[in-house]
Structure 1
Amino acid sequence: MVGYFLLRLFTAAFLAAASFTYSAYAASAPVELDEGIRSLQNEWALIQYKTPEKRRAARFETLSQRAHELTTRHTAHAEPHIWEGIILGSWAGAKGGLGALSLAKRSKAEYETAIQIDSMALDGSALSSLGVLYYRVPGWPVGFGDNKKAEALLRQALAVNPDGIDSNFFYADFLVSRNREKEALEYVEKALKAPPRPGRKVADEGRRDEAQLLLKRIQSKADAPSQ
């Protein structure tokens, strides 16, 4: 059972959750940090969506080291903490097994630090990403999962970025996980209509594919005969 939850925790839906429009951040970021974040997000998308599954763990591990180095150099900024959290979570997904939970805890810590620094950074991405962890990680005594905390965080993320592809997708996915498909339909449709993010073509394409799959799940449940 634990293995099942950990597997579900880190499926392809896991953390592309930096659902931001990058230009607004880049205008005020130090040049080295700006370039570092761009490099991390581009490499993350290539690994997550264009790399064979068996090769992802090693590549995410390497990328996590680069992310940590950037965070160490710019620890007062929320953005590198967010991306280190995303990469740690994605590495956990590729790695699987009980080791995934320890990486999830490290990812959680990075998001919490980012929220303390600036909860609205990168369009509230730390809020959304932490919310995903809370509903995908098993609860006590195995993990720290908490559906109430998850929904509160996901709704906060939506308030910050109401039209974002990730903020809407993840809230829809949460609602489906709670058997609230009728509510989820509005948000998955909004995710599919979200405007493209500058420099995020690969990530946007991958997320839209996931949103389409989620929409089909919702529609198939709606079409299923009642018991």
Structure 2
Amino acid sequence: MLSSQSGSRRATRHLSHLLISGSMALSITLVGMTGAYAAEGDDAVFPLMKRWAQINYQSTGDAQEKGMEGLGKEARALADQYPGNAHVLTWEGIILASWAKARGGLGALDLAKEAKATLEQAITLDPRGDNASAYVTLGALYDKAPGWPVGFGDDEKAGEVLRKGLEISPDGMDTNFYYADYLASEGEDAKALEYAQKALNGPARPNRELADQELKKEIQALITRLK
């Protein structure tokens, strides 16, 4: 349970800071997915991933919100079509979280809660899927969302979830960056710098050039701030 001080602090956070920011470029390596059913669903995710990156990094304001809204509706429909596909659900959660960030205000909270539930379902189906992308997004939501009584934000839970992601992908660019960002928000600058530098040296993700480029900018900005 959150302390009253932590809950009060989080309740004052603006919902416009809810994830996912432009740096939320996540690993897409497919792990442990077999069978025609999973493969068919996976193939359908790729166009959404590409458009997500374009909307997330190359648009702002109303255009970004409208783009994410359209993408979110498509992701929901795809998840309805492939309800047992953890890869589809992971990306539905990522897109819904991005839509929440683009919308901002009180209207973002319901989307953030939907993203949270979707990511939890993906993790239940495949805890090690997508190189911990679901853990990264879920942990970031816990870290940035307002706390009780407004939302579900929880510092301790954020750290726990992000560390689980690191166990799965210890060298990942995103797993290390978001844990570094979390540590910085907790005032652990020295430790945050260590993880941020590791993130900067993380391996590139196949077919994620734009995402990697933008994430590295965020990592470098964090390193500069921490030094």
Pair in the same fold by TM > 0.5: yes
How far 1:15 sits from its partner (Å)? 3.8
RMSD: 1.9
Change (3 A) 1:61 1:3: farther
Match of 1:6 in 2: 15
| 1:44 to 2:52 alignment | yes
3-state secondary structure, aligned to 2:166: helix
Q: What is the CA-CA distance between 1:34 and the residue it aligns to?
A: 2.2
1:3 shift after superposition: 7.0
Residue equivalent to 1:172: 180
* 1:14–1:90 contact (8 Å) kept in structure 2: no
**After the TM superposition, which parts of structure 1 deviate over 4 Å for at least 4 consecutive aligned residues?**
1-4, 24-29
Q: What amino acid is the match of 2:69?
A: E
Q: 1:122 corresponds to which residue?
A: 130
Structure 2 residue runs of 5 or longer lacking an equivalent are: 1-9
Distance apart, 1:5 and its partner CA: 2.7
Q: SS of the counterpart of 2:148?
A: coil
CA distance in structure 2 between the partners assigned to 1:46 and 1:90 by the alignment: 12
Q: Aligned equivalents of 1:140 and 1:2: distance in 2?
A: 6
8 Å Cα contact 2:143-2:154 kept in structure 1: yes
Classify the secondary structure of the residue corresponding to 2:117.
helix
The number of residue pairs the alignment matches comes to 217
- Please say if residues 14 and 93 of structure 1, whose CA atoms lie closer than 8 Å, have aligned partners that are also in contact: no
Task: Give the SS at the match of 2:27.
Answer: coil
1:191-219, CA deviations, whole angstroms, 9 ceiling, x for partnerless residues? 11111100111111111111111111111
Which of 139, 145, 163 is residue 137 of structure 1 equivalent to?
Answer: 145
Give 1:54 deviation, angstroms.
3.1
Structure 2 residue aligned with 1:80: 88
Considering Cα pairs closer than 8 Å and 6+ residues apart, tell me whether 1 or 2 has the greater RCO: 2
**Structure 1: gaps of 5 or more residues:** 220-227
Q: Which moved more, 1:143-152 or 1:29-38?
A: 29-38
CA contact (8 A) 1:25 1:122 kept: no
* Alignment counterpart, residue 106 of structure 1, candidates 103, 107, 114: 114
Amino acid at match of 2:79: T
Q: Work out the CA distance in 1 between the residues paired with 2:60 and 2:124.
A: 36
Select 1:160's aligned residue among 160, 168, 172: 168
- Distance (whole Å) between structure 1 residues aligned to residue 195 and residue 112 of structure 2: 26
Distance 1:34 1:20 in 2: 10
Alignment partner, residue 222 of structure 2: 214
For residues 34 and 79 of structure 2, what CA distance do their matches in structure 1 show?
19
TM-score by length of 1: 0.89
Q: CA deviation at 1:69?
A: 1.3
Residue 53 of structure 1, CA deviation: 3.4
